[in-house]
């Protein structure tokens, strides 16, 4: 199973009950599709960077989950049909995490190379000093 994170912004006009029902529907769909909800985050009502439709603010929510590839596709299809969702974005986290790990390894190799180069330059500088003293 792959890891995904889906973030979406809900309309600020929704009541707490409507939001709760919508979130439980998302959670239920993921679980019914043999997926696993790892984490849910609610960032609260925030101002949008720019006006979307007639809205200047929205309720931000994020779901991290594991599942088959059809789950985010179906969620996005449902979000498109719903007037409750202003914007949404799904990211495949396992690819992202692999890229982050690869970047960390590259950075570690660069750091190791700099340290070894520094040690070599110190050794060669010490040799030059010794040769200068011998003469």
**Boundaries of every domain in the chain:** 2-96
Residue owning tokens 């190379």: 113
How high is the pLDDT of residue 15? 94
According to DSSP H, which parts of the chain are helical?
16-32, 70-81, 93-134
- 76-108 per-position pLDDT tens digit: 999 999 999 999 999 998 877 777 788 888 888
Bridge partner residues of 27 (DSSP): none
pTM over 0.95: no
Stretch 20-36: mean pLDDT:
94
> With 60 as the cut, is the pLDDT of residue 13 above it?
yes
Burial of 22 (0-12, 13-18, 19+ CB in 10 A): buried
How high is the pLDDT of residue 125? 59
How high is the pLDDT of residue 128? 61
Length of the chain counted residue by residue: 135
Calpha distance 105→100 (Å, rounded): 9
Q: In this structure, what DSSP letter does residue 57 have?
A: E
Calpha distance 42→24 (Å, rounded): 13
How high is the pLDDT of residue 111? 84
> With 60 as the cut, is the pLDDT of residue 134 above it?
no
> With 90 as the cut, is the pLDDT of residue 39 above it?
yes
Stretch 59-83: mean pLDDT:
94
How high is the pLDDT of residue 109? 85
CATH architecture of the domain with residue range 2-96: 2-Layer Sandwich (3.30)
């Amino acid at each position: 199973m792959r890891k995904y994170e889906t973030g979406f912004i809900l309309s600020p006009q929704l009541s707490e009950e409507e939001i709760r029902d919508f979130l439980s529907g998302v959670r239920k769909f993921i679980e019914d599709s043999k997926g696993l909800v790892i984490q849910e985050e609610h960032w609260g009502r925030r101002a949008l960077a720019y006006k979307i439709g007639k809205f200047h603010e929205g309720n931000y929510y994020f779901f991290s989950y594991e599942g088959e590839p059809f789950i985010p596709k179906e969620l996005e299809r449902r979000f498109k049909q719903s007037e409750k969702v202003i914007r949404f974005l799904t990211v495949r986290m396992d690819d992202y995490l692999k890229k982050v790990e690869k970047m960390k390894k590259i950075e570690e190799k660069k750091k190791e190379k700099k340290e070894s180069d520094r040690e070599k330059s110190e050794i060669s500088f010490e040799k030059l000093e010794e040769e200068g003293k011998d003469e």
